[in-house]
Amino acid sequence: MSKPQNVPGDVRSKSLVDYLNDENVRAVLYQIIAIGLVILAGWYLVSNTLYNLEKQNISTGYGFLDLEASFEISETMIDYSAQSDYATALLVGLLNTVKVAVLGIILCTIIGTIFGVARLSSNWLVRKLATVYVETFRNIPVLLQLFFWYALIPAAFPHPRNAFEPLPGVLLTSRGTYLPVPVADNAYTLMGIAAIIALVAIYFIKKWATKRQDATGQPFPILITSIGIFVGLVLLAYLIGGAPTEMSIPALKGFNIQGGYNISPEFMAVLIGLTVYTSTYVAEVVRSGIQAVSSGQWEAADSLGIKRSVALRKVILPQSMRVAIPPLTNQYLNLTKNSSLAVAVGYPDLVSVSNTTMNQTGQAIEAISIFMSVYLGLSLLTSLFMNWFNKKMALVER
């Protein structure tokens, strides 16, 4: 953009009208106005809300987070009691949401992939069964599925007093599945550290092996080596830690089964419901991904003499991944967001705890703002990770 107004000898200084008729000035001006209107609208909404709350004598602010929560939560992954503050209660809810979402994503991917491949099977029965599974569970609203699983579990299993024991120490009851777990010991912390070290070592060995194969064409038995390193290191840590053997075995005591680890019916209902529902979509994504790779790729691999299993792993799947990852990301996001339906069956997820908090403190707007930002954050994280993964998998164009 030139600056004619600074040119000496310009006979006429520019008037305001000239400026407003300048295309560039106008473009900038319109943008400023647009942003201004958005800010004005936002300011109006916020100030009006505050004004109305003030007028109704409803207190505002996040100060309530430090107050004692005074209610109990059935499932917690961290230390929590009724004496803890609301912030801790919300954190408990968040962790429960993350727990069910992460497990759900892993399980629905596995189950979805199996059914997706099964839908393309050459076996008529397998193909049809997979189709029935997908079409049934995809077309029933997920909330109804949650109700169904939650009604089924207490009805299907016996009262804790007559618990069903399929394996020694494993109890199936209407109040959940109880598993024996090792009593906490320093050895387990040590084993965790060993596992992390092993994973890091495996990562570098794999890098080295790929490099060597690229350079010399010599394949390296990476799978066996990895398993060896992992099991060896963890076992070593266990022995160094003193090889503790004490277990917490669940047993009936008083009203309930005490000890062990309890997988509650609420958690089971939510996990099964979300996994089954989302896995049908994942199955379709996987199927479309595989079908998107042209059959010429199989033939090309065949003509190079590559084994069929290796061709699937090295030729077909990497290409179908490219097609599958973006819609898969959507499904993962859906699962995470659908986990908020857990409140309907009493699983203490973030929404459930926020609802209670909102009700006990009356801070509806604050509580909603917290859980909305948390869901947004979780979804953005998932999407960031999947975008990174997608980029890694994308075709490298030369």
Q: Are 280 and 112 in contact (CB under 8 A)?
A: yes
Q: Does 388 bind other proteins (CB under 8 A)?
A: no
Q: Shortest distance, CB of residue 181 to other proteins, whole angstroms?
A: 18
Interior CA angle at 240 toward 208 and 244, to 5°?
125
DSSP H or E stretch at residue 165 = strand 164-167
Rg (CA), the chain: 29
358: nearest Cα among 370, 347, 346: 370
Q: Which is nearer to other proteins, 73 or 370 (CB)?
A: 73
**Listed ranges 117-125, 219-227, 351-359, 385-393: which one lies at the site for other proteins (CB under 8 A):** 351-359
Q: Does 255 bind other proteins (CB under 8 A)?
A: yes
**Listed ranges 7-15, 226-234, 324-332, 349-357: which one lies at the site for other proteins (CB under 8 A):** 349-357
Q: Are 349 and 339 in contact (CB under 8 A)?
A: yes
Q: Does 47 bind other proteins (CB under 8 A)?
A: yes
Q: Does 135 bind other proteins (CB under 8 A)?
A: no
Q: Which of 180, 241, 327, 346 binds other proteins (CB under 8 A)?
A: 346
Q: Which is nearer to other proteins, 191 or 367 (CB)?
A: 367
**Listed ranges 163-171, 219-227, 287-295, 356-364: which one lies at the site for other proteins (CB under 8 A):** 356-364
Q: Does 366 bind other proteins (CB under 8 A)?
A: no
d(C-alpha 22, C-alpha 99), whole Å: 58
Residue 259 corresponds to which amino acid?
G
Q: Does 343 bind other proteins (CB under 8 A)?
A: yes
DSSP state of 312: I
Q: Does 261 bind other proteins (CB under 8 A)?
A: no
Provide CB contacts within 8 A for 218, sequence distance 6+.
212
Q: Does 229 bind other proteins (CB under 8 A)?
A: no
DSSP H or E stretch at residue 392 = helix 364-393
Strands 176-179 and 170-173: antiparallel
Q: Are 343 and 352 in contact (CB under 8 A)?
A: yes
**Listed ranges 137-145, 153-161, 215-223, 295-303: which one lies at the site for other proteins (CB under 8 A):** 153-161
Q: Which is nearer to other proteins, 32 or 384 (CB)?
A: 32
Q: Does 74 bind other proteins (CB under 8 A)?
A: yes
d(C-alpha 351, C-alpha 93), whole Å: 7
Q: Shortest distance, CB of residue 22 to other proteins, whole angstroms?
A: 15
Q: Which is nearer to other proteins, 113 or 356 (CB)?
A: 356
389: nearest Cα among 292, 315, 297, 324: 324
Torsion sign (Cα): 205, 385, 112, 292: negative
The residue ranges that bind other proteins (CB under 8 A) are: 29, 33, 37, 40, 44, 47-48, 51, 53, 55-59, 70-74, 82-83, 147, 151, 154-155, 159, 174-175, 253-256, 258, 265-266, 343-346, 348, 352, 355-356, 358-362, 364
